[in-house]
Amino acid sequence: LAPIKLSRYGEDLLFYLYYTHGGDVLQLAAAAELYTRDWRYHKEERVWITRAPGMDPSVKTNSYERGTYYFFDCHGWRKVAKEFHLEYDKLEDRPHLPSSFHHTQSNTGTTPVMVH
């Protein structure tokens, strides 16, 4: 099969791949692409989160920020906006893909929004 270029696909498909391929390299690849698109996985809430577009945090320190974020609700399959106190150490790091899979990963060169 030809390599899958996840950078071509929308967020709905990426979330679908993430939630339906648990423990598979495709789940890691979807997570890596979501990370590239500024989504982060919150380890305690067990949910994907991103800043609401155009909304800067109301408070920002070296260890946390507070603002409006979108949470991906996998049960309702929608993004839900909420005010939230986000502690950076509660966020999962960028997923590491096996070296055999790197040729399918996009290299967009974008800087993640919530990395410190």
Q: Please tell me the predicted confidence (pLDDT) of residue 54.
A: 94
Q: What is the pTM of this model?
A: 0.81
Residue 100 to residue 112: CA distance in whole angstroms: 24
In degrees, to the nearest 5, what angle opens at C-alpha 112 toward C-alphas 37 and 110?
Answer: 75
Mean per-residue pLDDT over the chain, rounded: 87
Residue 76 to residue 78: CA distance in whole angstroms: 6
pLDDT digits (tens, 9 = 90+) for 36-89: 999 999 999 999 999 999 999 999 999 999 999 999 999 999 999 999 999 999
Mean pLDDT of 18-37: 95
Residues 6+ apart with CB under 8 A from 89: 63
Q: Please tell me the predicted confidence (pLDDT) of residue 98.
A: 80
Sign of the Cα torsion 64, 112, 19, 78 reads positive
Pairing of strands 78-87, 47-51: unpaired
